[in-house]
Amino acid sequence: MNLGDNMDNAKLVEYNLDITLECPKCDYLFQLSNYSIPTEGSTYQVCENCNIALEVKPISINIDFKKSVKITKKKKAPKNRLLEDAKSIIQTYGFSMKEINYVLKSLDIDGMAVETIVKEVLSRIDNKHESTKT
pTM of the model: 0.41
Q: Which residues contact 36 (CB under 8 A, 6 or more apart)?
A: 43
Query: Looking at the predicted structure, is the pLDDT value of residue 102 above 80?
Result: yes
For the chain, how many helices (H) and strands (E)? Answer: 3, 4
Surface-to-core class of residue 30, CB atoms within 10 Å of its CB (0-12 exposed, 13-18 middle, 19+ buried) = middle
CA separation (Å) from 19 to 30, 40, 102? 8, 16, 69
Lowest-pLDDT range, 18-22, 40-44, 52-56, 58-62?
58-62
Give the pLDDT band (50/70/90) at residue 1.
very low
Per residue in 26-49, pLDDT (tens digit) is 999 999 988 888 888 999 999 999
- The proportion of the chain whose per-residue pLDDT surpasses 90, expressed as a percent, equals 24
Beta strands, E only, 17-84 = 18-22, 29-33, 43-46, 53-56
